[in-house]
Amino acid sequence: MNREGRNSAELIFNIAWIIFGGMIIGMSLELGFGTLKNPGTGLVPMTAGFVIFVSAALLLFFRVKKKASRMFFTRHEITIYFLMLLVFSGWIATMPVLGYILGTFFSTYCFSKVMRLSGWLKPFLLSLGTTLFCYLLFDVWLYMDLPRGILG
């Protein structure tokens, strides 16, 4: 695919994500939000739709400002992509055994190391913060049952 074809495909893809995010926002409006103490069924889809919509709009905005990039990925980028897929697959596979909290902690640590976050303290703190936030969001605030694994 030449650069013009790739640019057209990226443009169509970004526009499709903007439409998709808008559709999610529109459908979640019908479900109702509730409150933060008692969230309705539309709160999470609305948030997801908003994130998709804004992300796609920003990508489209910066795509217009940036010239076309190279056509193919480097070997290093492909390696990182497959390592990320491996970590994500491992997170899903080990969640019933380790549980959500430990699985998220170890997966976030592995993700940060794959993305070459230096040292061990930064990835540890990132993993700890991500795990704490996810626990608070899903288990405490949204009252969702998460896989407990070895933590019981």
pTM, full prediction: 0.57
| Angle between helix 3-31 and helix 43-65 axes, rounded to 10 deg | 160
Mean pLDDT for the chain overall? 85
Task: Please write down the HEC assignment for all residues of 82-114.
Answer: HHHHHHHHHHHHHHHHHHHHHHHHHHHHHHHHH
* 124 confidence band (pLDDT: 50, 70, 90): very high
Separate counts of helices (H) and strands (E) for the chain: 4, 0
* 50 confidence band (pLDDT: 50, 70, 90): very high
* 129 confidence band (pLDDT: 50, 70, 90): very high
3-state SS class at 143: coil
